[in-house]
């Protein structure tokens, strides 16, 4: 038997910084809760931030960068005015202090909520931030010997995050004349791609619906600079992302009307977006998943093989580090790719919308009718939908560019799910979970894009009637996927695309509707009955309403109308969301308005059931009237039309 060796007791290790770690915070919280004792650690950090010693300030900022991953820690930091104390460090005489302070503040905007960003604005973080950026007003070039480049990268990240969440920041951006400072940084050959990319992302955010910045960006020199960016050949995904974001800035600068600037601009922007979507992200994701799995197996094999005992310890460590660095680089590339494709889809979605739709609503807003008349008007909701849809059309130049670049199938490819095996592998890693979230966002954006493209493009450009039916079938399969069912946002996006597709098929009177049977739509009935997400229910209602309206035109009542009527009246009777009830009522009025459908109305007891629900509906509206918001007009209209419908059918 081998001898046992007594273990030496380990003494308490001194903390050289004197500052609490995340573990210390959690221990204090477990022992003392969120009271005064817990805030002692934060007070210690504040003291170090105000120190004259450079190293202590750097350590305090670094500690905050780590602590902000804890939501309760952020709250304590804000309560102790840490932002107000740390803000001036942005313009500290030490470049290292500046960089760590900016990193800590940036992490607060990332890990905190919009409310955290608002409180940072209240603590006047913008004054030192804009003062720092003003130091870059004179033309400068990066140097290996100073950290000015890293500092402005961090500062622009912070500014971008604040602009995304707070309108006050955007207003200050306009006032502080920061745009010329940032525009000069859109030269990756001089300042590198890290700075050029974050500057472009910040400019894309601040230029959205911002006339002052849009006007400045539309100047010839700036447009030329942006065109140069999107026409660059990319060597990696970060460079491709920069091209896509530059295309987004051009879209914003044109006020969403690329064709009014020039036809060549439309061609360049849409071509760039199509090029980004051409990359098969799912193939790269699958390869990454299996590489992660293989790497785990390899590392486990090395450990079991006793590399340390064979004298290969240092080599094994170096190999492991090299492999980890390689995987990190590939993961960064994948995240850039997914961000580029998501951004491209958002721009394409916006390109499908025109000013015409806004003009329709402006015409309605300028109507001479009083608000009371609008609430009680007898409105044909189906007709109103068709009016808006007919105005939602893609500009001819953009439409042509979509067709030339074969965008519809490229967008549809992004709606797919990764395999169950890939999903399982990625779920086992922190970065893998982040990738899965990015994939879900990409799918949602692609489905919204499909919805707008189907609504706004002519049927020939979509591939014809058969292709549109194939799109419907693909969307139906997506709606049944477990991953979609478990995500309310994804399911809403799928059903929205289904709604647009069925509407387009109905507009062109697809002959396949006449042969539809209840089993074909069973999953739609179940979506409306089982989903707890109101927008999904509303989409299911409108899908069935569209099909019902087509079937109602047949003089011989279609058997499916009974199923549709029963489903709709059940929504009216049982659903708790008044605006969903209003959608279902409108659908009933649209589908069962004609006299030749009275036998179906009587068979399912539609009128009697509506009579029973009318008093309950009136009481609910009275109780919730102040909280109905934008839904109030459609709900009031549905209530008025309900009484007229009951009277007419009785």
User: What is the domain partition of the chain in residue ranges?
Assistant: 17-206, 207-304+317-352+394-508, 510-650
| Spatial contact of 179 and 133, defined as CB atoms under 8 Å apart | no
* pLDDT at residue 354, rounded to an integer: 56
* pLDDT at residue 141, rounded to an integer: 86
Tell me what the mean pLDDT of segment 242-269 comes to.
90
**From 110-119, 121-130, 452-461, 491-500, the region with the lowest mean pLDDT:** 110-119
* pLDDT at residue 283, rounded to an integer: 93
Better-predicted residue by pLDDT, 499 or 295: 499
* pLDDT at residue 374, rounded to an integer: 39
For the chain, how long is the longest CA-to-CA vector? 100
pLDDT class for 76, splitting at 50, 70, 90? Answer: confident
Q: Is it the case that residue 30 has pLDDT exceeding 80?
A: no
* Percent of the chain residues past pLDDT 90, beyond the cut: 62
| Spatial contact of 107 and 74, defined as CB atoms under 8 Å apart | no
* Percent of the chain residues past pLDDT 70, beyond the cut: 83
Q: Is it the case that residue 14 has pLDDT exceeding 50?
A: no
Q: Is it the case that residue 56 has pLDDT exceeding 90?
A: yes
Q: Is it the case that residue 358 has pLDDT exceeding 90?
A: no
Closest Cα partner for 208 from 270, 256, 272? 256
| Spatial contact of 86 and 119, defined as CB atoms under 8 Å apart | no
Q: Which residues 6+ apart lie within 8 Å of 471 measured at CB? A: 412, 450, 454, 462, 501
Closest Cα partner for 67 from 21, 133, 136? 21
pLDDT class for 322, splitting at 50, 70, 90? Answer: low
Q: Is it the case that residue 47 has pLDDT exceeding 50?
A: yes
Candidates 1.25.10.10, 3.30.390.10, 3.40.50.620, 3.60.10.10; correct CATH number of 17-206?
1.25.10.10
pLDDT class for 48, splitting at 50, 70, 90? Answer: very high
Q: Is it the case that residue 170 has pLDDT exceeding 80?
A: yes
Instruction: Report the alpha-carbon distance of residue 539 to residue 547 in Å, rounded.
Output: 13
Up-side HSE of residue 581: CA atoms within 13 Å toward CB?
Answer: 24
* pLDDT at residue 299, rounded to an integer: 63
* pLDDT at residue 507, rounded to an integer: 92
**From 257-261, 331-335, 372-376, the region with the lowest mean pLDDT:** 372-376
Q: Is it the case that residue 636 has pLDDT exceeding 80?
A: yes
Q: Is it the case that residue 183 has pLDDT exceeding 80?
A: yes
pTM, rounded to two decimals: 0.85
Question: Dihedral, CA atoms, 278, 282, 284, 286, nearest 10 degrees?
Answer: -160
Mean pLDDT of all residues belonging to the chain:
85
* pLDDT at residue 323, rounded to an integer: 63
The torsion angles phi and psi of 145, rounded to 5 degrees, stand at -85, -20
| Spatial contact of 645 and 595, defined as CB atoms under 8 Å apart | no
pLDDT class for 20, splitting at 50, 70, 90? Answer: low
* pLDDT at residue 533, rounded to an integer: 93
* pLDDT at residue 317, rounded to an integer: 59
The torsion angles phi and psi of 218, rounded to 5 degrees, stand at -80, 0
**From 290-304, 369-383, 591-605, the region with the lowest mean pLDDT:** 369-383
Tell me what the mean pLDDT of segment 448-473 comes to.
94
* pLDDT at residue 12, rounded to an integer: 40
Buried b (16+ CB within 10 A) or exposed e, 156-175: bbbbbbbbbbbeebbebbee
């Amino acid at each position: 038997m081998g001898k046992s060796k007594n273990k030496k007791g380990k003494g308490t290790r001194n903390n050289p910084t004197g500052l609490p770690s995340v573990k210390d915070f959690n221990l204090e919280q477990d022992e003392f809760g969120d009271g005064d004792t817990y805030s002692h650690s934060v007070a210690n950090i504040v003291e170090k931030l105000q120190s004259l010693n450079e190293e202590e300030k750097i350590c305090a900022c670094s500690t905050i960068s780590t602590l902000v991953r804890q939501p309760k820690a952020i709250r304590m930091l804000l309560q102790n005015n840490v932002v107000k104390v740390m803000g001036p460090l942005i313009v500290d005489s030490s470049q290292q202090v500046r960089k760590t302070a900016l990193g800590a503040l940036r992490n607060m905007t990332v890990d905190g909520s919009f409310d955290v960003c608002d409180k940072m604005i209240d603590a006047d973080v913008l004054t030192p931030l804009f003062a720092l950026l003003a130091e870059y007003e004179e033309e400068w070039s990066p140097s290996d010997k100073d950290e000015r480049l890293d500092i402005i990268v961090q500062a622009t990240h912070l500014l971008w995050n604040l602009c995304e969440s707070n309108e006050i920041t955007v207003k200050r951006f306009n006032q502080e004349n920061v745009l010329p400072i940032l525009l000069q940084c859109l030269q990756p050959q001089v300042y590198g791609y890290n700075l050029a990319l974050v500057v472009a992302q910040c400019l894309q955010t601040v230029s959205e619906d911002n006339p002052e910045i849009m006007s400045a960006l539309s100047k010839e020199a700036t447009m030329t600079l942006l065109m140069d960016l999107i026409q660059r050949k990319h060597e990696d995904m970060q460079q491709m992302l920069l091209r896509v974001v530059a295309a987004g800035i051009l879209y914003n600068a044109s006020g969403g009307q690329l064709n009014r600037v020039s036809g060549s601009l439309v061609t360049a922007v849409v071509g760039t977006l199509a090029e980004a979507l051409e990359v098969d992200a799912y193939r790269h994701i699958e390869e990454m998943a299996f590489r992660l799995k293989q790497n785990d197996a390899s590392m486990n094999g090395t450990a079991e093989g006793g590399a340390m005992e064979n004298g290969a310890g240092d080599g094994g460590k170096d190999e492991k580090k090299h492999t980890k660095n390689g995987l990190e680089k590939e993961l960064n590339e994948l995240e850039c790719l997914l961000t580029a494709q998501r951004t491209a889809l958002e721009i394409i979605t916006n390109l499908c919308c025109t000013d015409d739709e806004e003009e329709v609503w402006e015409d309605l807003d300028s109507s001479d009718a009083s608000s009371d008349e609008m609430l009680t008007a007898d409105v044909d909701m189906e007709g109103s939908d068709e009016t808006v849809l007919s105005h939602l059309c893609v500009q001819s130049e953009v439409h042509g560019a979509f067709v030339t670049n074969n965008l519809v199938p490229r967008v549809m490819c992004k709606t797919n799910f990764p395999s169950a095996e890939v999903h399982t592998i990625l779920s086992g890693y922190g970065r893998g979970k982040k990738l899965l979230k990015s994939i879900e966002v990409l799918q949602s954006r692609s489905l919204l894009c499909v919805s707008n493209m189907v609504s706004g493009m002519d049927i020939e450009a979509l591939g014809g009637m058969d292709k549109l039916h194939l799109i419907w079938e693909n969307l139906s399969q997506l709606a049944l996927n477990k991953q979609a069912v478990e995500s309310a946002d994804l399911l809403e996006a799928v059903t929205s695309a289904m709604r647009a597709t069925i509407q387009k098929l109905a507009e062109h009177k697809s002959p396949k509707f006449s042969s539809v049977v209840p089993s074909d739509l069973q999953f739609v009935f179940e979506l409306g009955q089982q989903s707890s997400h109101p927008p999904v229910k509303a989409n299911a209602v409108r899908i069935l309403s569209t099909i019902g309206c087509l079937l109602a035109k047949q003089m011989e009542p279609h058997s499916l109308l009974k199923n549709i009527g029963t489903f709709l009246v059940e929504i009216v009777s049982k659903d708790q969301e008044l605006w969903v009830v209003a959608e279902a009522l409108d659908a009933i009025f649209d589908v069962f308005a004609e006299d030749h459908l009275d036998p179906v109305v009587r068979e399912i007891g539609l009128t009697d059931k509506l009579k029973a629900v009318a008093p309950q509906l009136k009481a609910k509206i009275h109780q919730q009237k102040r909280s109905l918001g934008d839904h109030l007009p459609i709900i009031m209209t549905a209530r008025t039309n309900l009484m007229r419908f009951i009277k007419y059918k009785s």
